[in-house]
């Protein structure tokens, strides 16, 4: 799976949009971009994933650049409960790895009142 690079920490004001960047310059054509978050040592929570098109769901939006070398997770209206470590994970879907995930260090997002 391709390596990802994320800033170690970010701050965001409550009610504002949180934009979390991720670099994955060695991504292959068949690798997907996944985002998970972990709130204070709870189990990781799936947020969103995509291949090359931008994606949106009830939690967030995922913007993937045209060359697919980077992406941005957008939380449109951050709340205090969005304070968490956010993981950007790039993985290929294969027979043996299944839905296996390789977690990096992630970005600690702190939403401030």
Q: What residues line the site for other proteins (CB under 8 A)?
A: 34, 38, 41-46, 49, 93-106
User: How many residues in the chain?
Assistant: 113
Name which of 14 and 59 has its Cβ closer to other proteins. Answer: 59
Name which of 78 and 89 has its Cβ closer to other proteins. Answer: 89
Shortest Å, Cβ 49 to other proteins: 6
What are the two backbone dihedrals, phi and then psi, of residue 80, each rounded to the nearest 5 degrees?
-60, -30
Identify which of 30, 48, 44 has the alpha carbon closest to the alpha carbon of residue 93. 30
The rounded Cα 35 to chain-centroid distance in angstroms is: 3
The C-alpha angle with vertex 96 and arms to 34 and 27, in degrees rounded to 5, equals: 40
Shortest Å, Cβ 90 to other proteins: 14
Shortest Å, Cβ 113 to other proteins: 26
Radius of gyration in angstroms for the set of CA atoms belonging to the chain, rounded to a whole number? 13
């Amino acid at each position: 799976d391709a390596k990802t690079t994320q800033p170690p920490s970010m701050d965001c004001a409550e009610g504002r949009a949180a934009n979390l960047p991720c670099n994955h310059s060695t991504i292959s054509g068949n690798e997907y971009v996944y985002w998970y978050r972990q709130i204070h040592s709870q189990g990781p929570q799936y947020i969103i994933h995509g291949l090359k098109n931008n994606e949106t769901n009830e939690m967030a939006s995922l913007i993937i650049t045209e060359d697919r070398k980077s992406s941005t997770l957008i939380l449109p209206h951050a709340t205090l409960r969005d304070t968490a470590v956010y993981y950007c994970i790039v993985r290929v879907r294969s027979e043996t790895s299944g839905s296996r995930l390789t977690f990096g260090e992630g970005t600690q997002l702190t939403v401030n009142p």
